[in-house]
Structure 1
Amino acid sequence: MKIKCIVVDDEPLALEMVCNFVDKTGFLALQGKFDSALEALAYINSHEVNLMFLDIQMPDLTGMELARVLENRKHQGSPKIIFTTAYNQYAIEGYKVDALDYLLKPFSYEEFLTASHKALRFFEKKDTAPKASTEDYIFIKVEYQLVKVLLREIILVEGYKDYVKIHLSGKSSPLLSLTTLKSMEEMLPEDHFMRIHRSYIISLDYIQSISKSTVNMGIMNISVSDGYKENFLRFIDKWIN
């Protein structure tokens, strides 16, 4: 497969070096190079880009700010990111915006190739990964790997600011993933899962009892938020009838 990528760096020598590395890598296809994150964002908005090699310290809009823009809008066409930077203090922030890897300058072609192969494995697995609406499992990012999770084992998903807890049947502790509850909501099929609270998505299969404002999931009782009550009450009507 060919991964469509762009390179973004305001240092001319670094920009050319990474572009040369891309050209040497058979499964990467260079679509463009930019010395401005704003120009890169404009390009991404109108072109298909799978992967971005992104510097962090840049004027106007930093690479981390660009990554947050793409993360916040959760657009399915947004590229994955491999950061290229001289500053190691951004590694944790890179993890929070779901970056595939973090290359610390100066890096060799071997290091670049290792990170690129990580991207290749991600896209190959994504191409063959099941769709939640038609299959019985999804892949969840846990640390720097994708973990297969069976839909039938998910009791509920509990959302926090920067991560979620996925409570699984038969497991003593939840699975932690550095993603958002909104992302989980988009992945889970609507005919088996429902969001009933700003912090909770539940599996309909594990409901023990319900009232007009509370759901008992066995492991905990969850109040239904006002913003989700209308949808939940429609579900109750169908369940009763």
Structure 2
Amino acid sequence: MTILKCIAVDDEPLALKLVETFIEQTPFLELACSCDNAVEAMGLIREKQPDLVFLDINMPNLTGMELARLLQEQSGPIPKIVFTTAYNHYAIEGYRVNAVDYLLKPFSYEEFLRAANKVLQLSEESSNHFQSVTADDEFIFLKVEYQWVRISLKDILYIESLKDYVKVHLEDSQKALLSLISLKALEEKLPSSKFMRIHRSFIVSLDKINAISKNSIFINKTEITVGEQYKEAFKIIVDKWLK
């Protein structure tokens, strides 16, 4: 059984206790820790690397929504987020930071379990929708719709994130392949000698880069900006090329 490691964050003691109780009575959830503010949560997320965070939105100093935005910008593993809040006007903002679900207080265990199951399904689909590859492998299998598709690594131009999906752009193909897997999960399985994440939404094939400008790379006629947090690592690669 897949076990999801969780962190609960809420500045209201009773609300926090309720989420802790719900986590503990759910067989596929494991409570790693809990805290009452988003600033502490940021450090705990880096330390514990949870799969899922149940995150209150309205908290002092740093809100849950602000924490979610910060997590989207980091280069490490990004946990799934389920927001918990007493206010119903944050749903659109939650979607923008890739929240899996949105629980409106007071919520029942049935509602909580429905949200947790949604995260579990995404996690299991991600782990089952690809085959790991090494630097010596020449292809990867991705599940596209209802079939496994063999994709040659040398045919991949770049990979684009679309929330919980990736779009794989291929050489000599006008139609990209869409697969239900996160960009982060796929990044961890691709050989780093051939592929590099240069933006929160893009992984590129290093062999397919045919031009470099100050802040962008070009693959054929497609320009992709190098994200601020990826510039230093990418500069190391470029310096090796230019020696």
Shorter-chain TM-score range: 0.5 to 0.7
Task: Write out aligned runs for 1:149-168 (5 A).
Answer: 150=151, 152=153, 154-157=156-159, 166-168=168-170
Distance in 2 between the 1:87 and 1:148 partners? 43
How far is 1:167 from its partner? 2.9
Task: Write out aligned runs for 1:75-114 (5 A).
Answer: 75-76=76-77, 78-114=78-114
Distance in 2 between the 1:191 and 1:137 partners? 15
Question: CA, structure 1 residues 201+82, in 2 after alignment: closer, same or farther (shift >3 Å)?
Answer: closer
Q: Give 1:40's aligned residue.
A: 41
Question: CA, structure 1 residues 83+195, in 2 after alignment: closer, same or farther (shift >3 Å)?
Answer: closer
**Does the aligned pair in 1 maintain the 2:73–2:200 contact within 8 Å?**
no
Distance in 2 between the 1:75 and 1:188 partners? 16
How far is 1:87 from its partner? 2.9
| Gaps in structure 1 of 5+ consecutive residues | 141-146
TM-score scaled to structure 2, two decimals?
0.64
TM-score scaled to structure 1, two decimals?
0.65
In our comparison, the structure showing a higher alpha carbon Rg is 1
Please tell me the root mean square deviation across aligned C-alpha atoms, in Å. 4.8
3-state secondary structure, aligned to 1:89: coil
Does residue 189 in structure 1 map to residue 191 in structure 2?
A: yes
Distance in 1 between the 2:103 and 2:95 partners? 13
Distance in 2 between the 1:113 and 1:187 partners? 30
How far is 1:198 from its partner? 11
How far is 1:56 from its partner? 0.6
3-state secondary structure, aligned to 2:58: coil
Task: Write out aligned runs for 1:1-241 (5 A).
Answer: 1-76=2-77, 78-128=78-128, 129-131=130-132, 133=134, 136-137=139-140, 150=151, 152=153, 154-157=156-159, 166-168=168-170, 170-172=173-175, 188-193=190-195, 202-203=204-205, 217=220, 220=221, 231=237
**Does the aligned pair in 2 maintain the 1:22–1:28 contact within 8 Å?**
yes
Question: CA, structure 1 residues 47+35, in 2 after alignment: closer, same or farther (shift >3 Å)?
Answer: same
**Does the aligned pair in 1 maintain the 2:100–2:119 contact within 8 Å?**
yes
| Gaps in structure 2 of 5+ consecutive residues | 227-231
